[in-house]
Every structure is written in C-alpha cells, then in structure tokens.
Amino acid sequence: MVRVTRTATRPAAPTVRRRPHRAWSVAAVTFVTIIGAAAFASLPGLLIGPLHEEFDWSRGTIGFAVSVNLALYGLTAPFAAALMDRFGIRRVVAAALTVISVGSLLTVWMTAAWQLVLFWGLLVGLGSGSMALAFGATVTNRWFTARRGLVTGILTAAGASGQLVFLPLLSWLVSAHGWRPAAVTVALAAIAVVPFVWLLLRDHPADLGLAPYGSTDVVPKPAPVPGAARRAVTVLFDAARTGPFWLLAGAFAICGASTNGLVKTHFVPSAHDHGMPMTTAAGLLAVIGVFDVVGTVCSGWLTDRFESRRLLAVYYALRGISLLFLPMLLAPAVHPPMLFFIVFYGLDWVATVPPTIALCREHYGEDSAIVFGWVLAAHQVGAALVAFLGGVARDVFGSYDVVWYASGALCAMAALMSMVVRRRPAA
C-alpha cells in the first residue's frame, strides 16, 4: 500500500506596500509652491508696453524698476537661505509669498514711477528673492542624498511650469482688460499657496524621525543658527577667496543676463516691434516654459552622470549661437525657424542650474546652499543690468539688435569660464 504524504501549503506572505519616502511629498509641495509664486516672473515683460502707453514712462524707467526687482531677487537669496536655517523653511516661504502678494496688489493704485520701483521692484523683489532657487537647493540638500541632480532639475523646472500656467492668462488679461487685473491675479496666486506651505511643508527629515532619501541614517536636526545675515556674509567672504566662486558667479551672471534680463523681459516688446501681436509673443514664451521643464529635468539627470563643468560649457556655447541668429528670425508671423529657436532656447533656459548647484555642493559642502544663493545673486545682477540696459538700448537705437548680439558674445565667455573651473580633488 502506497502512502501519500501531503505537503502543507504555506499561506502566501502578505504583500508589503512600501510608501514613497516623505521627501518626495516635500519636493512636490515645494514644486507647487514655486509654481504658485512664478506668476510674478511672467508679468514684467508684459507690463513694458502698457505702462509706457498709460503713464508715458520711458522704457528705460520701466526697465529700471524691473532691474531692481531682479537684483533683489538675487541679493536676497543668500540671506533667505540663512534665514531658513534660523527660522525654518516654512515660516520664511510663507512670509515671502505674503510680501509678493502685497507688493503686486499695491501696484494697482500707483500713479508715479517711484511707486513702481517701490511696490514691484522692492517688495516683490524681496519676496521673490526668498522664493529663489536657493529655496529648492535647501530642500534638496536637507531631504535627499540620492537623486539630488534629478530633484534639483525638477524644482528648477517648477518656475518654468509656473510661467507656462500663468503667461497665456496674464497676456490675455493685459490685452483684453489692462494690466491691473493681471497684477491682481499675481497677488491672488501668491497668497493662495500660503496655506499649502504652512500645512504640508516640513523643515527637516528629523522632524518626522526619518533619514533623508537615499540614506539609512537619521540626521539630527541642526540647532537654529543665530545671526543669519552675519553667516551669509561670512560664507560669502570665505567663498570669495576661492577661484571657483568667481568663475561660477561670473558665468551665472551671464546666464541671468541672457534669460531673465533679456528674453523674459524684452522678447515680447522686441517681437512686437517687428509686428508680432503681444499675445502671440507671450505664447512663444510659454512654449519656452514647456521645453524648459524637459530641458531642466534632463539636465538634472545628466548632472548625476556627467561632469558638470563640461555640461555648463556646452549649454552656454549653444545658447550664445542661438542668440546671434534671433534678430534674423523676428517677424510679424511665426515661422518654423522661430519655432526651432523657441524649442531650443527652452531646452537650454535654466539647464545651467543643476550643474551649477552640483559644483557649489562639490566645492563648498554644507555651505553650498548659501554659496549658491550668492552665485544666484550674480545671476540676478546680470539680469538686472540687461533688463535696464536693454530698455535704454531700445530708446537710443530704436531696436534690440545690439543687445541680442552682445548677449551671444557674452555666452561664449561664460562657456570658457565654465571649462576653467577645476575639479575638487577627492578627499
């Protein structure tokens, strides 16, 4: 008789679903916050024509107010990074969004050019500076040890996404109803994000007893650092004694001059000079925003895999070449060569940010967010100079052509400066 032995069937092990690391939700809140605050960055280029027509202010005067905004956007960034170390990310960002909202709303009642400088230049500049790329760099440094390049690219792309969301709407509002409803829209967009920041954003992984993404060790939350302004200045003095700082700051100043200062501020009025409707030109800037997202995320991915200084050199060189051709492409209608320029420039727009942050992190370690804040300050000073000088050039020469050519030459210089940055020897 054959005896059959039955093997007991073990119950299947329960499927364990791993929840995404909280760092990704913090990054998502940061992304949405930057998008909500990005509306203010979409408006200056749309204001030049309407303010010139209504108040008879020169383009140089309006450009000066925009330049104050851009300069403060950069100069505030390193102090904001230090303030985040002192008071926490959530408090600083919520306060910054409130200041942006107040400054934008007050412009509705302005009657003199100095009020434009005060409300849009000073208040919105200070608020936006606290929401600058140093914000994304601080979040990335605290919450991630892996995928930093990718996350930096995604958060940098948030600004372009905000431009994509708001620019067509603001352009339509300016054309159909005037510039005041557009300013109110910016104010409402900024203040609407504050509750999300206060309820969902967290300052440090240790607040939740977590290790940063990519690490197994829980990093203790550092004690609040007093003397935020003193620390920002001290870090500047220390970094200023090194060669990489000046090379990165100089190249990034040219980056700002050729993007925020030139294209974002003067592309719409320049295209309008050639007979292109303002809404069409604003739509092209929005398309830049679409491809900026793709280019910046891809740049972050590339930064995790290739040498950052070589990436920067390629980005700047290609940007300079494209700017030299732009004056020949401007026309009343949109033609395929112009679309090619828009797509290419979008891919290259802030692709420079992930490798620049990576080089700051490589050379300056824990102080890298503040150092990048100062590098960003140089970026915005370059943007401010061109925002102002571009308007003056238009008043003097009757066109923007000389500004496009000069910016193309400067980009070639930025490519050379990037290649000169030396790699830091491994410890």
Which residues contact residue 126 at a Cβ distance below 8 angstroms, ignoring those fewer than 6 apart? Answer: 72, 76, 96, 99, 103
pLDDT in tens, 109-148: 888 888 888 888 888 888 877 776 667 777 888 888 887 7
Question: By the 8 A CB rule, do 72 and 129 touch?
Answer: yes
Residue whose token pair is 């900024």: 190
Residue whose token pair is 């892996």: 146
The string of DSSP letters for 133-156 reads HHHHHHHHHHHBSSSHHHHHHHHH
Of the candidates 384, 379, 265, 259, the residue with the CA atom closest to the CA atom of residue 319: 259
pLDDT value, residue 16: 43
pLDDT in tens, 233-278: 888 899 999 989 999 999 999 998 998 788 888 888 888 888 888 7
Range among 47-51, 67-71, 356-360, 423-427 rated most confident: 356-360
Does the domain at 22-202+226-420 match CATH 3.40.640.10? Answer given as no
Cα atoms in the Cβ-side hemisphere of radius 13 Å centred on 100: 35
Cα gap 44→71, rounded to integer Å: 14
Angle in degrees, CA 331, 321, 398, rounded to 5: 40
Q: What is the mean pLDDT of the chain?
A: 81
Q: Mean of the pLDDT values across residues 16-32?
A: 76
Q: Mean of the pLDDT values across residues 39-60?
A: 77
How many residues are listed for the chain in this entry?
427
Per-residue pLDDT at 399 exceeds 80: yes
Neighbours of 362 (CB within 10 A): 15
Cα gap 375→361, rounded to integer Å: 12
DSSP at 178: -
Question: By the 8 A CB rule, do 414 and 257 touch?
Answer: no
Neighbours of 194 (CB within 10 A): 18
pLDDT value, residue 254: 93
pLDDT value, residue 151: 82
Taking the CA atoms of residue 34, residue 40, residue 162 and residue 152 in that order, the dihedral angle to the nearest 10 degrees is -40
- Which pLDDT band holds residue 10 (cuts at 50, 70, 90)? low
Is the C-alpha dihedral spanning 427, 78, 351, 399 positive or negative?
A: negative
Of the candidates 352, 171, 330, 390, the residue with the CA atom closest to the CA atom of residue 250: 352
Taking the CA atoms of residue 58, residue 128, residue 97 and residue 78 in that order, the dihedral angle to the nearest 10 degrees is -150
Residue whose token pair is 């073990």: 10
- Percentage of the chain modeled with pLDDT above 90: 11
Tokens of 294: 């793709």
Tokens of 57: 């202010």
Cα gap 146→148, rounded to integer Å: 5
Cα gap 115→391, rounded to integer Å: 19
Is the C-alpha dihedral spanning 420, 344, 253, 305 positive or negative?
A: negative
Tokens of 210: 């977590």
Look at 168 and 299; give whichever has higher pLDDT. Answer: 299
